[in-house]
Amino acid sequence: MKKVALVTGASSGIGEATVKTLLAAGYTVFAGARRQDRMRGLEQQGAILLALDLTDDASIARAAEQIKATQGRIDVLVNNAGYGSYGSVEDVPMEEARRQFEVNVFGLARLTQLLTPMMREQRSGKIVNVTSIGGKFGEPLGGWYHATKFAVEGLSDCMRMELARFGIDVIVVEPGAIKTEWGSIAIESALKYSGSSAYAELAREKAALFSGADGGFASEPSVVAEGILKTIKARKPKTRYAIGGGAGVFMFLVRVLPDRGIDRLMDFIAKSALKRQKA
């Protein structure tokens, strides 16, 4: 019997690459996202498309019910959907802050709530929560985004302990710099909310950093997708996997540097990116 997987945020980037990787590995794969038109290529490759809006509880419930009704089981849930909204904590409207949490945290949690019962009945399953190396440290203008990733890290730890007795593994994948649409969305929001405020210089530095002026060390989404496949195939997976551009280096620095040292490092990286862009 083929194992059944659901990948959220499947219309681009890491999600799209993960769907392709799991299909190639022989899984029955549901590809979930709001932008159905962008997933037609995945459908042609064998994916089952799900209209999934993580800010809409009814949409989440319909997606979970479709999997239960058509497959009767779920072996792998890859909670990948998310985005990075940037801007200073002072500048970003609370409405946008709440939306960031709705997509990155509450939608993830609600979908997991609805699919976990099937895994418990099976006494098996893998839940992969895609966070970020940004779930371990902060940076200027990333307050709300990093807050969501810290939240998913903590939520995952609790879920892991709760579900272990039912044969369910909860695994955190922490991507580093990846070549996706994420950077352009972060640039747009940083400039929108803080580009003309007291934090304008920070916004310009962040835009330079995310535009690729960081030396071009970002990895392809397929690198993370292959890592996710490795985690779900492992008999005893690790609790966390840092994958992709600079992830291992940053995680090491977070372990060895004091908080003020990380502050200075983030400041240096951003200012250096802007200087290179101007040069």
Residues known to be catalytic: 145
For tokens 């098996």, the residue is 124
Q: Cα–Cα distances in Å, from 222 out to 12, 171, 207? A: 11, 18, 25
Burial class (CB in 10 A: 0-12, 13-18, 19+), 49: middle
How many C-beta atoms lie closer than 10 Å to residue 143's C-beta? 20
Residues 4, 57, 117, 162, CA torsion sign: positive
Q: Which of 169, 150, 130, 160 minimizes the C-alpha distance to 254?
A: 150
Distance CA 238, CA 138 (A): 24
For the CA atoms of the chain, what is the radius of gyration? 19
SS3 assignment for 243-270: ECECHHHHHHHHHHCCHHHHHHHHHHHH
The DSSP output letter for 168 is E
Max alpha carbon distance in the chain (Å)?
A: 60
Distance CA 22, CA 242 (A): 20
| Total residues found in the chain within this entry | 279
- Are the C-beta atoms of residues 88 and 194 closer than 8 Å to each other? yes
Q: Please give the angle made by the CA atoms of 145, 146 and 152, to the nearest 5 degrees.
A: 95
